[in-house]
Structure 1
Amino acid sequence: MSVKMIGTEESSDDLREKMVAINRVTKVVKGGRILGFAALTVVGDGDGGVGMGKGKSREVPVAVQKAMDEARRKMIKIKLKNGTIYHPIIASHGAAKIYMQPAPEGTGIIAGGPMRAIFEVMGMTNILAKCIGSTNPYNVVRATLKGLTKMNTPANIAAKRNKSIKEIMGHGND
């Protein structure tokens, strides 16, 4: 039996925290079963910083705290363009495949469950996202973070091509 909670929010040290999922897990030993809990959380700074953490324990609060601590340690920084992404992205992890697309101002976050939690904690305001295939929260979160990290900004592309950002954006001297 798995218990899922999406969107429990607490705040400390200027970070936004969201619990994505809690699963009840059992370990079978010679004397019977040992019950435990596994928690998946995401933490963000509201300005493009985001991290994912997993925690396991015999009690829910301890598992959640372990997950939050791991998420804080594993934070990465993603560049945003006016609260959205720079270009459409397709990424996958396992059988979870996700599609993300930039959206105009006023659209909001159109995404399901685990992806919505990531976008909210990292401060994204406008994005369209779709999960195709597996909807396992662990794999969806990993696929989303993988896609966000492989996003190219105009500065990255300009550096690779040894050109200025103006030339890349089409404002160069022709």
Structure 2
Amino acid sequence: MKKKNIKNKDQDTNWEERVVQVKRVTKVVKGGKKLSFRAILVVGNEKGQIGVGVGKASDVIGAVKKGVADAKKHLISIPLTKSNSIPHTIEGISGAARVIIRPSAIGSGVIAGGSVRTVLELAGIKNILAKQLRSSNTLNNARAVINALANLKTFARTAQERDININHLYSITET
């Protein structure tokens, strides 16, 4: 069911694609070396939907097309606040890469580097602070951001998971 909704939204919204990295990779085979290209792409609509994809092909254009198709298959929706930020601080992990993402004050902009910055900008986040830890691998850092954004929770979702009224979350006091 989720995939049907994504396909319908795909036609209604304007998707922006950005190539994060294109690498020439070689595979050693019996006759010598076989060259191919690997493209890492980020697709987003700047309204809270984002996807990261990888494509491999013998030419760059084919790799980019495959990367776009892969990114659109793995779209996620994220909750954005009124200040175009995220609801709370969160950490994402993918492989050896670890990314910490914190909401920031209005007007501070996107303070992040590399593929993390690209993912956050295409998600529509305007005020955020991010830090890459451990690994400098472009793909793993992009996937770590996606992991973090996928685990974001709103007050409404937290109240639903706990099976309580949302007003009760706001009015919790120590007695």
Q: For 1:39-54, what aligned pairs fall within 5 Å after superposition? A: 39-54=39-54
How far the C-alpha of 1:60 sits from its partner, in A, is: 0.7
Equivalent residue number for residue 15 of structure 1: 15
Please identify which structure carries the higher strand content.
1
CA distance in 1, matches of 2:100, 2:50: 18
CA distance in 2, matches of 1:108, 1:49: 19
1:65 aligned counterpart, secondary structure: helix
2:68 aligned counterpart, secondary structure: helix
- Judge conservation of contact 2:79–2:153 (CA < 8 Å) in 1: no
Equivalent residue number for residue 66 of structure 1: 66
Aligned residues: 161
CA distance in 1, matches of 2:172, 2:14: 38
CA distance in 2, matches of 1:23, 1:100: 27
Which residue identity is paired with 1:130? K
How far the C-alpha of 1:171 sits from its partner, in A, is: 8.8
Equivalent residue number for residue 163 of structure 1: 164
1:72 aligned counterpart, secondary structure: helix
Matched, 1:148 2:131: no
Q: For 1:90-109, what aligned pairs fall within 5 Å after superposition? A: 90-109=91-110
Equivalent residue number for residue 115 of structure 1: 116
Equivalent residue number for residue 4 of structure 2: none
CA distance in 2, matches of 1:169, 1:138: 38
How far the C-alpha of 1:162 sits from its partner, in A, is: 2.6
CA distance in 2, matches of 1:141, 1:75: 13
Q: Taking structure 1 as the reference length, what is the TM-score of the superposition? A: 0.87
1:66 aligned counterpart, secondary structure: helix
Which residue identity is paired with 1:30? K
Matched, 1:35 2:47: no
Which residue identity is paired with 2:121? E
1:34 aligned counterpart, secondary structure: strand
Q: Which runs of 5+ in 2 are unaligned?
A: 1-12
4+ residue runs of structure 1 moved beyond 4 angstroms?
Answer: none
Among all aligned residue pairs of Structure 1 and Structure 2, give the percentage whose two residues are the same amino acid.
39
Which residue identity is paired with 1:163? I
Which residue identity is paired with 1:46? E
CA distance in 1, matches of 2:96, 2:53: 20
Equivalent residue number for residue 140 of structure 2: 139
